């Protein structure tokens, strides 16, 4: 149970001690003399904007200036976090270090009282609907409990819909109303089969979505909505090619829905590119690059320029194109010229010794290289900046392929020429140095090397 004895005095003293625009004062029980961080949101991206220490009682303070955007913010608390909404008001709360979001009590902030009330009702509704879905799908239809479950399924949806309608009606200027309106879902008929229910939800997914609300960019609501929609197009049985073809359909819908607002459209396109780039889905990225019309839509010059460079790089590195020439010196002092490599295939790998996924990948790649050494050459290009760390790693692992690093990090010429934004980035080239694949794993490399 939360302690209340010193709470009023602590908050009263604080309110007279500071004169900043808006204060965020919290107490986390059993969290004395520890570091906390405050982050903002821009879609799924969180940037640390402030840090502080709690005192002996677990009390801490942050401040918001008038210029800070209204939206969702997150307090990082060791392995936990607390989400709050800033909407031009002071915020005070108390919670415990164990599940701080679930145990929070808002002392002052109408916006955050609404927010946590909304989260509670939304999550409870979803929890019950998920349970009832399994019952309706698998329980004998002739049993009386089946009919009861269907009625409850309808009742729970209506109850939450009424809750949201009241929230929108009574608090139209709140940020929570924006979130609730964006997250609204259409009613699902319990009579539908699981497959039909999923198809219905997919078809009606955007019935209430308004992509013109740019304030929602200062939360994770839009990115979460995108991920939820993409999940309709996933199937564990799909090959990578089938999955990419499926995602292309989703991408077209998402870009079309966001098209009317330039700022949101720009965010959606960038979010999709980064997400699919992370999984090596080059076909989807090339499709976005070709059809997004990003050069015509973006208005934020800095972000537009960054996106245009990225999309230009994607187009340049598409399968079927000639790979950029590489002229470098390897760690043994030998000159390396990509076009002069005569083997049937060349694998170009951008990596870093600080990237755990990269180092695991190189260890797995070693066996494949040894088995295909007559027909395959590998050039690994590190974006390391520490000469000692790089050489220690290479010497320790005794990689026999071509190892290159100029210690300029992301500014190295090969990384720039190949439009590298993440590691590992991998390109498989044929004998003529045409790009024939951008594999994401050693397994895919093996498949591509098979005759």
Judging by beta carbons within 10 Å of its beta carbon (0-12, 13-18, 19+), is residue 247 exposed, middle or buried? buried
Alpha helix stretches (DSSP H) within 298-430: 301-316, 356-371, 387-397, 413-417
Q: Are 224 and 271 in contact (CB under 8 A)?
A: no
Strand 376-382's sheet: what is its strand order? 402-404, 376-382, 345-351, 425-429, 435-437
- CA 307, 313, 319: angle at the middle one, nearest 5? 130
CA–CA separation, 89 and 69 (whole Å): 12
Considering only residues 447 and 401, tell me which one the structure prediction assigns the higher pLDDT.
401
CA distances, 123 to each of 102, 146, 179 (Å): 11, 23, 14
Name the pTM for this structure: 0.67
Q: What is the CATH number of domain 7-108?
A: 2.60.40.10
Whether 1 shows a pLDDT value over 60: the answer reads no
| Residues whose CB falls within 8 Å of the CB of residue 247, separated by 6 or more in sequence, listed in order | 230, 233, 276, 281, 284
Name residue, tokens 């929609």: 229
Name residue, tokens 């164990």: 98
Range(s) of the chain covered by CATH 3.40.30.10: 327-449
- The whole-number pLDDT of residue 13 equals 43
Per residue in 10-67, pLDDT (tens digit) is 454 444 444 458 999 999 998 999 999 999 999 888 889 999 999 999 999 999 999 9
CA dihedral defined by 137, 140, 141, 144, rounded to 10 degrees? -120
And the tokens for 298? 């973006």
CA–CA separation, 49 and 34 (whole Å): 17
Neighbour tally for 116: CB within 10 Å: 21
- The whole-number pLDDT of residue 300 equals 57
Preceding omega of 424 cis (within 30 degrees of 0):
yes
CA–CA separation, 8 and 1 (whole Å): 17
CA 303 to chain centre: 18
For 401-437, b/e burial (b = at least 16 CB within 10 A) is bbbbbbeeeeebebbeebbbbebbbbbbbeeebebbb
Q: Are 77 and 28 in contact (CB under 8 A)?
A: yes
Range(s) of the chain covered by CATH 2.60.40.10: 7-108
Q: Are 375 and 343 in contact (CB under 8 A)?
A: yes
- The whole-number pLDDT of residue 302 equals 63
Long-range contacts of 441-450 (CB under 8 A, 24+ apart): 441/361, 442/361, 442/364, 442/365, 442/368, 444/240, 445/347, 445/365, 445/368, 446/368, 449/345, 449/368, 449/372, 449/375, 449/376
CA–CA separation, 119 and 23 (whole Å): 23
Percent of the chain residues topping a pLDDT of 90: 53
- CA 433, 437, 443: angle at the middle one, nearest 5? 125
Neighbour tally for 352: CB within 10 Å: 22
Fold of 327-449: Glutaredoxin (3.40.30)
Per residue in 372-390, pLDDT (tens digit) is 989 999 999 999 999 999 9
Q: Residue 39: phi, psi to the nearest 5?
A: -120, 150
Considering only residues 74 and 286, tell me which one the structure prediction assigns the higher pLDDT.
74
Whether 278 shows a pLDDT value over 70: the answer reads yes
Whether 423 shows a pLDDT value over 60: the answer reads yes
Percent of the chain residues topping a pLDDT of 70: 91
- The whole-number pLDDT of residue 14 equals 47
Q: Are 354 and 384 in contact (CB under 8 A)?
A: yes
Q: Are 86 and 64 in contact (CB under 8 A)?
A: yes
Percent helix, strand, coil in the chain, to 5, is 50, 20, 30
CA–CA separation, 138 and 82 (whole Å): 38
SS3 53: strand
Segment holding 194, helix H or strand E: helix 194-203
Per residue in 161-181, pLDDT (tens digit) is 999 999 999 999 999 999 999
Per residue in 297-355, pLDDT (tens digit) is 555 566 566 666 776 777 788 778 899 999 999 998 999 999 999 999 999 999 998 88
């Amino acid at each position: 149970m939360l302690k209340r004895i010193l709470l009023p005095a602590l908050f009263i003293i604080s309110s007279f001690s500071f004169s900043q625009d808006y204060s965020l004062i919290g107490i986390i029980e059993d969290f004395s003399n520890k570091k906390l961080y405050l982050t903002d949101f821009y879609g799924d991206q969180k940037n640390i904007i402030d840090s502080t220490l709690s005192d002996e009682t677990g009390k801490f303070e942050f401040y918001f200036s008038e210029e800070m955007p209204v939206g969702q913010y997150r307090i990082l608390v060791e392995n936990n976090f607390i989400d709050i909404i800033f909407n031009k008001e002071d915020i005070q709360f108390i919670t415990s270090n164990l599940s701080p979001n679930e145990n929070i009590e808002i002392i002052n902030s109408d916006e955050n009282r609404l927010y946590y009330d909304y989260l509670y009702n939304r999550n409870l509704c979803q929890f019950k609907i998920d349970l009832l879905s399994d019952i309706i799908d698998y329980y004998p239809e002739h049993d009386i409990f089946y009919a009861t479950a269907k009625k409850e399924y309808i009742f729970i949806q209506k109850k939450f819909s009424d809750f949201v309608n009241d929230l929108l009606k009574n608090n139209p200027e709140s940020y929570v109303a924006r979130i609730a309106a964006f997250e609204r879902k259409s009613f699902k008929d319990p009579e539908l089969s699981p497959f039909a229910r999923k198809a219905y939800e997919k078809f009606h997914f955007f019935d209430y979505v308004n992509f013109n609300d740019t304030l929602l960019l200062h939360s994770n609501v839009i990115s979460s909505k995108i991920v939820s929609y993409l999940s309709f197009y996933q199937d564990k049985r799909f090959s990578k090619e089938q999955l990419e073809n499926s995602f292309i359909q989703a991408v077209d819908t998402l870009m079309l829905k966001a098209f009317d607002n330039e700022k949101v459209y720009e965010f959606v396109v960038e979010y999709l590119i980064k997400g699919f780039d992370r999984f090596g889905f080059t076909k989807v990225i090339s499709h976005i690059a070709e059809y997004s019309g990003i050069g015509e839509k973006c208005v934020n010059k800095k972000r537009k320029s960054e996106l245009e460079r990225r999309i230009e790089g994607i187009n340049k590195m598409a399968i079927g194109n000639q790979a950029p020439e590489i002229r470098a010196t390897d760690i043994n002092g030998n000159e390396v010229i990509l076009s002069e490599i005569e083997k049937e295939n060349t694998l170009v790998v951008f990596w870093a010794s600080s990237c755990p996924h990269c180092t695991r990948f190189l260890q797995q790649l070693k066996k494949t290289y040894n088995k295909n050494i007559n027909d395959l050459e590998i050039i690994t290009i590190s974006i390391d900046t520490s000469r000692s760390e790089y050489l220690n790693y290479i010497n320790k692992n005794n990689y026999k392929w071509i190892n290159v690093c100029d210690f300029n990090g992301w500014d190295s010429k090969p990384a720039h020429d190949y439009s590298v934004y993440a590691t590992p980035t991998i390109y498989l080239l044929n004998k003529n140095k045409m790009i024939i694949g951008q594999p994401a794993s050693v397994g895919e490399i093996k498949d591509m090397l098979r005759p």
